[in-house]
Amino acid sequence: MKRLKNVLILCSLVAFSSVSAQEHCDESTKKEDKKDVLNRLSIGGYGEVVLTRNYYSDQWQRYSNAEKYKDEKSHGRFDLPHVVISLGYDFGKGWSFGSEIEFEHGGTGSAVEIEAEEAGEYETETERGGEVVLEQFWIQKSFSRAFNIRAGHIIVPVGMTNQYHLPTEFFTNYRPEGESTILPCTWHETGISFWGRTKNWRYEVQFLAGLDADRFDSENFINGGSGSPYEFKIANTYAGAFRLDNYSIRNLRLAVSGYFGYSFDNSLTKNTKYKDCKGEVMIGSFDFHYNSRNFIVRGNFDWAHLNDSEEITQFNKSMSNASPSPKMAVASDAVAAGIELGYDIFTHVPKMNQDDQKLYLFGRYEYYDSMAKVEKNVLDHGWCGKQRMALGVNYYPLKEVVVKAEFSKRFYKSQYNNEPSVSLGIAYAGFFTK
């Protein structure tokens, strides 16, 4: 009987030890799984805050009646140009996911209120302007470093700013004006991308929905054509884009990019009078980036052409007032060119240099014209052609944080008033997980 008792006690101890070991093993597995999930997860983003004082009129008639508004008082603005949250995950076996949600100019908001002064009627109040945009949402399969396929809502890498649009990748408080005026910026479309990187080259080729000619206008050329006022993106016609970057020369990146697509049929409004109108959009772009000897130099040149611009102008102006179309004239050609140079003076201050802090003095010049060339019966707005100069500083206390200050001035033809301004901003860009 005593021996049986001892056997039972021993069996109980073994069973308890097994259960405890299994529980410990399960707990360890859970911790390892949780750690693995966190290692696969990436969370990041970027954001900008800007205060600007504009020493010119903010009246919308300031170009059509320039003399009247020549001595207008200055006006100030606070702005949140872009606040972006990025979320990505590596599923393993070459599959990954990426997304970005962007709040432009503080997002948007409205509320329903009962107005006491109007017999208790319900009214919708707009409390905040701006936009909330799903800028990226894609799934990717990576076969190798040299070949990847990405499908979903993706960035169109045409032009320097679309590819490099983080606030730490340009000196001015706002993105370079030329490219962000005549091209969609940041340009994002739903489609499929094939891309890869070798030793000295990076390539990307995309198949996309075409732009919507209803959304083109005088001041911004094709900029508005990438958006959609509907709950879906019209894709009656298609487009292709490419980008090629070269890194053969040390500290220098050279790139060319381009786009071709049809735009006129991407509308819910139809008119048989314009059945032969295609609205082909063609874009060619060159940009470069040099970073060495405490200097950063960046530059770009963009040319864009729109076929059938006269027909598109006539069609858009004939649309009803309820239409989301700007109903404005659009040019056949637009151009943007810019160059900026910055020098890190903290390289000569040992304490700051050792702490990896940087202080760039910079200058920027750009020229852009959203109506560089117009068809015979399209009105050319002379004020669409602008030169802009900016001088300022960028202070980096950390790699991911930058404080910006600048003085800038837009120069117009003699019949218009120049537009000086002063801006101060702070921005960040980085990942919160590794």
* pLDDT exceeds 80 at position 125: no
* pLDDT exceeds 70 at position 15: no
Q: With b meaning 16 or more CB within 10 Å and e meaning fewer, what string describes 330-357?
A: bbbbbbbbbebbbebebeeeeebeeeeb
Q: Which of 390, 389, 385, 388 is nearest to 414 (CA)?
A: 385
Q: Say how far apart CA 352 and CA 224 lie, in whole Å.
A: 44
* pLDDT exceeds 80 at position 271: no
**Burial of 310 (C-beta count, 10 Å sphere; 0-12/13-18/19+):** middle
- Residues 6 or more apart whose Cβ sits within 8 Å of residue 77: 50, 51, 52, 54
Q: Which amino acid is at 397?
A: P
**pLDDT tens digits, 23-47:** 555 565 555 566 677 889 999 999 9
**pLDDT tens digits, 36-87:** 778 899 999 999 999 999 999 999 899 989 999 998 999 999 999 999 999 9
**pLDDT tens digits, 356-378:** 999 999 999 999 999 999 999 99
pLDDT of residue 244: 98
Predicted TM-score (pTM) of the model is: 0.88
Q: Which of 213, 399, 230 is nearest to 316 (CA)?
A: 213
Cβ(338)–Cβ(313) below 8 Å: no
Q: Which of 134, 75, 78 is nearest to 106 (CA)?
A: 78
Q: Say how far apart CA 234 and CA 246 lie, in whole Å.
A: 34
Question: In the chain, pLDDT over 70 holds for what percent of residues?
Answer: 87
pLDDT of residue 8: 47
Q: Which residue has the higher pLDDT, 178 or 118?
A: 178
pLDDT of residue 190: 95
Q: Which residue has the higher pLDDT, 122 or 145?
A: 145
Residue with tokens 């151009």: 335
pLDDT of residue 269: 76
* pLDDT exceeds 60 at position 355: yes
Q: Which residue has the higher pLDDT, 427 or 324?
A: 427
Domain boundaries, the chain: 140-431
Within a 13 Å sphere around the CA of 190, how many CA atoms are in the beta-carbon half? 10
**Burial of 65 (C-beta count, 10 Å sphere; 0-12/13-18/19+):** exposed
Q: Say how far apart CA 392 and CA 6 lie, in whole Å.
A: 86
pLDDT of residue 1: 52
Q: Which residue has the higher pLDDT, 15 or 179?
A: 179
- Residues 6 or more apart whose Cβ sits within 8 Å of residue 200: 246, 247, 248
**Mean pLDDT value across the chain:** 90
Q: Which residue has the higher pLDDT, 122 or 319?
A: 319
Reduced to 3 states (helix: H, G, I; strand: E, B; else coil), residue 202 is: strand
pLDDT of residue 251: 98
**pLDDT tens digits, 86-102:** 999 999 999 999 999 99
- Residues 6 or more apart whose Cβ sits within 8 Å of residue 373: 331, 332, 333
pLDDT of residue 341: 98
DSSP class of residue 433 equals -
Q: Which of 144, 219, 225 is nearest to 184 (CA)?
A: 225
166-191 average pLDDT score: 96
| CA angle, residues 299, 302, 308, in degrees to nearest 5 | 170
**pLDDT tens digits, 325-349:** 888 999 999 999 999 999 999 999 9
CATH number for the domain formed by residue range(s) 140-431? 2.40.160.10
pLDDT of residue 13: 47
Within a 13 Å sphere around the CA of 111, how many CA atoms are in the beta-carbon half? 5
* pLDDT exceeds 80 at position 120: no
Q: Say how far apart CA 91 and CA 198 lie, in whole Å.
A: 24
